[in-house]
Amino acid sequence: MTTALGVDVDINGNGLDPLAHRQIIKRHWVNTGVIGGLEVSGRSDLYYAVSAGVAVCSMGDADGFTEAYFAGGTTENAVSAGDGTYPRIDSVYLLANTGTPDNLVHCLVVQGTPSASPAAPVLPAGGLLVQQMLVPAGASATSAASGNGSRNFAIPYGSDLGRIGYAANTMTTEQAYNSNWYTQVAATVRVPTDRLVDVRWTARASGSGGSTESSYYIQLLIDGTVVSDGQDEISVPANYERKQFSFTPNLTPGEHTIAIQAKCNTGKPRFTWRGIRTVEVFDRGVAQ
């Protein structure tokens, strides 16, 4: 029997066990990753320095999540000096054990293999990458190493991720004068859960010759499937003018291609795209 987080154990021993705590913590986060701190830097020896910080860690899906604090210091293990010929990538990581072999938070490093095109080494089960470090050939200390790749940050469940996709088409060209749909721009995005997003189309056009008004229709495609009715009409003035339009679809977890197609209104004169066609995708939180 379990009780709620924040409820003390009663005289009969009813209360939360550690696994229940970790399962509750897991529901607060979309993913594992750094929360704050844990900046990695080199030293005059072959250890790495890591600042104090907190990260969301996990020993596996069934084991839930922990919020692990590291007080700052050096990695527990050292690496070797740089290879005489090739660079390598070292991976500094946290390991927050949940009972086996201990209950401690460890800060460690896995040394990579020297190569003309080095790859990051594989972390042990439960290891949370804090930072990859590129070690140049001939390095005698980690002070010669530099950060390699982006850092993975933990995302609170339900939070707004901001702009997650962007693509642009900057060609100035006359729109084909027929009733076909033409893809104008497409962006690839990745979302961790079901999300509500804003897809913002921005374009600048003018009537061909600069003296006539026109219009076009746009439609939204997600992964090659049309998800709007194609009846959204955008006016094109005689002079240059930037117009915007937004769609608000839901996205399922994973990677998606977001595209905007346009076709001209053949009941009106021709028009010309004037160098700006973009699609931006903004995350608006968990889809309800």
The 10s digit of each residue's pLDDT in 268-278 is 999 999 999 99
**Tokens 């117009």, residue located:** 243
Q: Which residue has the tokens 């927050």?
A: 96
Location of structure tokens 């997600």: 222
Task: Over range 120-134, report the average pLDDT.
Answer: 97
DSSP 208: G
- Rounded Cα distance between 147 and 90, Å, is 10
To the nearest whole number, what is the mean pLDDT of the chain? 93
According to DSSP, the β-strands at 232-236 and 241-247 are: unpaired
Helix locations, the chain, DSSP H: 18-26
Of residues 8 and 170, more confidence is placed in 170
User: Is residue 157 pLDDT above 90, yes or no?
Assistant: no
Instruction: Output the pLDDT for position 113.
Output: 98
How does residue 203 score in pLDDT terms, banded at 50, 70 and 90? very high
pLDDT given at position 2: 67
pLDDT higher than threshold 80 for residue 216: yes
User: Residue 1: its pLDDT value, please?
Assistant: 59
Contact 221, 256 (CB under 8 A): no
Given pLDDT bands bounded at 50, 70 and 90, which one contains residue 25? Answer: very high
Average pLDDT over every residue of 174-194: 94
The set of residues, in sequence order, having a beta carbon less than 8 Å from that of 214 and lying 6+ positions away, is 205, 207, 208, 235, 236, 264, 265, 268, 269, 270, 271
pLDDT at 117: 97
Given the structure tokens 């061909």, which residue do they identify?
Answer: 208
Q: What is the pLDDT of residue 287?
A: 83
Q: Which residue has the tokens 């154990």?
A: 9
Q: From 278, 264, 274, 261, select the one nearest 235 (Cα to Cα).
A: 264
Q: What is the DSSP letter of 221?
A: E
Q: Return the closest-CA partner of residue 26 out of 146, 135, 124, 156.
A: 156
| pLDDT higher than threshold 80 for residue 9 | no
Chain centre distance of CA 191 = 7
Above 70 in pLDDT, residue 138? yes
For residue 276, what is the DSSP state? E
Whether 288 shows a pLDDT value over 70: the answer reads: no
pLDDT in tens, 96-111: 999 989 999 999 999 9
Residues in the chain: 288
Confidence category of residue 152, pLDDT binned at 50, 70, 90? confident
> Is residue 209 scored above 70 in pLDDT?
no
Q: CA-to-CA distance for 158 and 34, rounded, in angstroms?
A: 17
Across the range 127-153, mean pLDDT stands at 96
User: What mean pLDDT do residues 86-104 have?
Assistant: 96
Summarised one tens digit per residue, pLDDT across range 33-71 is 999 999 999 999 999 999 999 999 999 999 999 999 999
Residue 16's pLDDT band, with cuts at 50, 70 and 90, is confident
Lowest-confidence pick of 10-19, 38-47, 189-198: 10-19
226 touches 137 (CB < 8 A): no
Show the 3-state SS of 50-67: ECCEEEEECCCHHHCCEE
